[in-house]
Amino acid sequence: MTALIAPIPPIAPLPAAPAAGGTAAAGTGDSFSSSISNALDQVQQSQNTASTAEAQAAAGQGSVTDAMIDATQASLDTQVTVALLDKGVSAFTDIMNMTF
């Protein structure tokens, strides 16, 4: 039996942040891109959990409520990551628009 909702294909991990201007980004701890990358990994994990729960519910094993709860959590996780990413990109754009 097919799942109720087609599972979302895995998101490829983000490439490491290109070190702008040589070694400027090196040794500064967690960069923005690695934070977002970690967040995306977690989103991927919750999407996988939701997919598994949905497949089980559709197959008649497991419960529909659990599947819906997992799907809601996956959706909220995605919204959080997207919101943070938008904020970060917005900050970056503000810096780039500075006049010197």
Partner 1 sequence: MSLFPSLDIAGTGIDAAQTWLNTTAGNIANMNDVSPMDEAAYGEQTPVFVPSGAVGQIGDGVSVAGIAEGDTTGIVQYDPTSPEANAQGEVRVPDVELGSQMVDMIQAQTDYQANASVFADAKTAYQSALTLGS
Report helix, strand or coil for 34: helix
CB of 26 to partner 1, least distance (A): 30
**With contact defined as beta carbons under 8 Å apart, do 39 and 11 qualify?**
no
CB of 56 to partner 1, least distance (A): 15
79 touches partner 1 by CB under 8 A: yes
Tell me 18's DSSP state.
Answer: P
Query: Contact with partner 1 (CB under 8 A): which of 19, 59, 80, 89?
Result: 80
- DSSP one-letter string for 42-83: HHHHHHHHHHHHHHHHHTTSS-HHHHHHHHHHHHHHHHHHHH
Q: Which stretch binds partner 1 (CB under 8 A): 5-13, 17-25, 27-35, 71-79?
A: 71-79
Site residues, partner 1 (CB under 8 A) = 42, 46, 63, 65-66, 69, 72-73, 76-77, 79-80, 83
